Amino acid sequence: MIKYIITGGAGFIGSHLVQALVKKNKKVVVLDNLSTGRLDNIKKYRNNKKFLKCDISKKGKWINEFNSKCYVFHLAALADIVPSIQNPEAYFSSNVNGTFNVLQTAKSAGVKRFIYIASSSCYGIPDQYPTPETTEISPQYPYALTKRLGEELVMHWAKVYKLPALSLRFFNVYGPRQPLKGQYAPVIGLFEEQAKRGEPLTIVGDGEQRRDFTHVNDVVEANMNAMMTNYSGMVVNVGTGVNHSVNEVASYISDNTVNIPERPGEARETLANIKRANNLLDWEPKITLEDYFDPN
C-alpha cells in the first residue's frame, strides 16, 4: 500500500500535511523526535496514521518504514535563527546529518518521490526582489547554512542516484498551530499571543522590514502538487510574491507596541519570485494576509 512518510510531522507545518493527507484517507507515518513538535498537533488525526518518536540524525528502527511504495516529505529540522548561532552543532546534526540519513534511507528503499522542505533564508540579503531561485546563495547564520547544505545533498542525490526529488524553498509560513511563545517565535504567532496576554507587541528594529508571509494551507497545497509532478532535481520558491512590513502586521493586531534591538543577519526584505511554482507546480497562493486578519 502507498504510504506517506512525513519527517517533522508533529511540527507546525508538518502537522498540516498530516491533516491534509489523513483527510484524503492516505496512509501516513510521522517520524519526529518532538524536540519542538508536539503530539497535540496531530492527535486529532488518528485514521491511518502511525507515529514513531525517533531522531533522524541517528539511524534507528525508523528506517524500516521506508519502501518502494513511499512518498517522503522531509520537514524535520531545527528551525530557529538565533539559537542556531548559539548551538550550531545541534543544527548541523538534525539538519545536515539528519537529511543525509533520510536521503540514504529513501534511496536504498527506492521511494517513489522525495520532497525536501528548504528555506528562503539561503538567499541571505539578496540583491534582487522578487527573488528568483537563480539568485546567489548567501546564508547568514547556521540555520540557513544547514538548510542549504541539506538542499545540496538532496539535489546531489537527485543527480547522481536519480532519486526523484524536489526542494521547496518556503518563505515565512504562518497559520494555525504556528509557534506562539519564546523569544524567537515567528512574528505573527508571537504578536497574537502577546496581544492575548495584554502585553506590548515586540517589534524588532524599526519594524519596516518586509516579509513574504505565506499561509500554511497554501504551503500544503504546494507540497501536494510537488508530490504529483514528475520534475526532479530542481528547487522551487514557495511564497506569495507579495510582502508586508512588521509594522503592518502589528497594525492588524494591536497598537500597544515596543521596539526591541535588531538581530544579526536578518534580511531587510523577503519576497519570492514564484513564476517557477506557477509553471512547474501549477500552483498559486490563495490566502492573503488581509484574508487571515480580516476574513469578513
Residue tagged active-site, from 4, 45, 71, 143: 143
What nine digits make up the cell of 16? 498540516
- Give 188 or 203: the residue with its C-beta nearer to ligand NAD: 188
Residue in 29, 56, 227, 274 binding ligand NAD, rule: CB under 6 A:
56
- Give 36 or 209: the residue with its C-beta nearer to ligand NAD: 36
The rounded distance, in Å, linking the Cα atoms of 122 and 119 is 6
| Of 245, 229, 238, 241, residue with least CA distance to 280 | 229
- Give 129 or 170: the residue with its C-beta nearer to ligand NAD: 170
Task: Give the number of other CB atoms < 10 A from CB of residue 86.
Answer: 10
Which string of DSSP letters, residue by residue, matches 38-99?
Answer: -GGGTTT--TTEEEEE--TTS--GGGGG--TTEEEEE------SHHHHH-HHHHHIIIIIHH
The rounded distance, in Å, linking the Cα atoms of 229 and 213 is 25
Pairing of strands 165-170, 113-119: parallel
Q: Are 163 and 106 in contact (CB under 8 A)?
A: yes
Binding status of residue 220 toward ligand NAD by CB under 6 A: no
Q: Which stretch binds ligand NAD (CB under 6 A): 71-79, 133-141, 255-263, 285-293?
A: 71-79
Residue in 92, 170, 191, 283 binding ligand NAD, rule: CB under 6 A:
170
Footprint (CB under 6 A) of ligand NAD, residues 118-137: 119
CB of 36 to ligand NAD, least distance (A): 4
CB of 255 to ligand NAD, least distance (A): 26
The rounded distance, in Å, linking the Cα atoms of 196 and 191 is 9
Residue in 98, 130, 142, 285 binding ligand NAD, rule: CB under 6 A:
98
Active site residue 143: yes
Q: Are 27 and 1 in contact (CB under 8 A)?
A: yes
Q: Are 218 and 286 in contact (CB under 8 A)?
A: yes
In this structure, which amino acid lies at residue 99? T
Binding status of residue 96 toward ligand NAD by CB under 6 A: no
Q: Which stretch binds ligand NAD (CB under 6 A): 75-83, 106-114, 245-253, 275-283?
A: 75-83
Contact mark string toward ligand NAD, 144..163, x via CB under 6 A? ---x----------------
Residue in 3, 5, 11, 266 binding ligand NAD, rule: CB under 6 A:
11
| Of 170, 129, 143, 88, residue with least CA distance to 265 | 143
Residue in 3, 4, 5, 14 binding ligand NAD, rule: CB under 6 A:
14
Q: Which residues contact 193 (CB under 8 A, 6 or more apart)?
A: 180, 181, 185
Binding status of residue 79 toward ligand NAD by CB under 6 A: yes
- Give 162 or 242: the residue with its C-beta nearer to ligand NAD: 242
Residue in 3, 5, 6, 13 binding ligand NAD, rule: CB under 6 A:
13
What nine digits make up the cell of 207? 519594524
Q: Are 111 and 68 in contact (CB under 8 A)?
A: yes
CB of 276 to ligand NAD, least distance (A): 16
Name the residues annotated as catalytic.
Answer: 143
Where along the sequence are the contacts to ligand NAD (CB under 6 A)? Answer: 8, 10-14, 32-37, 55-57, 75-79, 94, 98, 117, 119, 147, 170, 172-173, 186
